[in-house]
Amino acid sequence: MESRQNVQTEEIRRKFPPDWEVPVFRIDFWDGKTRDYCVVVPVINEGDRIRHFVRRLKENKINTIADIIIVDGGSTDGSLNHEYLRSGGVRGLLTKTDAGKLSAQLRVAYSFALCNEYRGVVTIDGNDKDDPAAIPNFLRLLGEGYDFVQASRFVPGGKQRNTPPSRQLAIRWIHAPLLGIASGFNWTDTTQGFRGYSSKLLLSQRLSIFRNIFSSYELLAYLSYASPISGFNCIESPSARYYPKGEVPSKISSFKGNLNVLLTLIKACLGIYGPA
């Protein structure tokens, strides 16, 4: 089994263009492509949250309209049992074994998706805050020609529950407005990782997303800034984001993490990451 996994990984890596910077990763299992689009679920030590989320994906029959691929940042909590994931309709599990956080995981997943010739990707967090019932609408919009579909709890039809007041304030009055001004697109919910991208956008040489500079949370802010000003067709779509009462599932620590997010936002809005 390990030999087969190594062969699969090497076959994919040989397809990468020479200018792509993609973190080292392994394919834990891959049952092959069956759909035109895939749903990427980034996780790290999500425990019961990812197990519950996989059940929700299956209940919403997402595996019948898109291939589900989980990209792990190096979980150590035993939450990613292969048999359980497969029973929930998951087609593949990738594990980043290199340095970096979310943006590094996403570069692994997006490179894998592009080399498997998916028409587009929907990314949704594995911490069980987002309602996967919105995924079919994301796929519909991508199929209609949109290049970037951003989930928003703040547009008509969107829902939220137990959003920490500090986060709501930061999103509505700092993060989204600054990216809106800088990009020229009226974003409302820019910190959300629940998004859809066309393969055309992900392959864009002008955006050039496969760079090691995208290691932590830079890629989310960068694409919200760079996609509209590069002429890609962007839209927001209503979604539901529910925080558990008294708990904030997040990998961003309170002070240092939020400061880094703010600095990343400023760099993105100033065009420091590009586009080329």
User: pLDDT by residue (tens digit) across 165-186?
Assistant: 989 999 999 999 999 999 999 9
Structure tokens at 240: 């539901």
Q: Is the pLDDT of residue 257 over 80?
A: no
What CATH class is the domain 2-165+192-202+234-248?
A: alpha beta
Handedness of CA 41, 63, 162, 151 (dihedral sign): positive
User: What pLDDT shows up at residue 91?
Assistant: 98
Distances in whole angstroms, Cα of residue 42 to Cα of each of 140, 152, 166, 234, 245 = 22, 19, 24, 22, 23
What whole-number percentage of the chain has pLDDT above 90?
A: 89
pLDDT tens digits, residue range 88-126? 999 999 999 999 999 999 999 999 999 999 999 999 999
Q: Is the pLDDT of residue 255 over 90?
A: no
Which of 48-52, 101-105, 112-116, 251-255 is predicted least confidently?
A: 251-255
User: What pLDDT shows up at residue 245?
Assistant: 84
Three-state SS letters, the chain: CHHHHHHHHHHHHCCCCCCCCCCCEEEEEECCCCCCEEEEEEECCCCHHHHHHHHHHHHCCHHHCCEEEEEECCCCCCCCCHHHHHHCCEEEEEEECCCCCHHHHHHHHHHHHHHCCCCEEEECCCCCCECHHHHHHHHHHHHCCCCEEEEECCCCCCEEECCCHHHHHHHHHHHHHHHHHHHCCCCCCCCCCCEEEEHHHHHCCCCCCCCCCCCCCHHHHHHHHHHHHCCCCEEEEECEEECCCCCCCCCCCCHHHHHHHHHHHHHHHCCCCCCC
Nearest to 107 by CA among 58, 142, 73: 73
**pTM for the whole thing?**
0.94
Residue 251: pLDDT band (50, 70, 90) is low
User: What pLDDT shows up at residue 254?
Assistant: 61
Handedness of CA 31, 217, 183, 270 (dihedral sign): negative
What whole-number percentage of the chain has pLDDT above 70?
A: 95
pLDDT tens digits, residue range 224-238? 999 999 999 999 999
What is the C-alpha separation between 29 and 176, in angstroms, rounded?
37
Size of the chain, expressed as the number of residues it contains: 276
Average pLDDT over residues 4-31: 92
pLDDT tens digits, residue range 188-213? 999 999 999 999 999 999 999 999 99
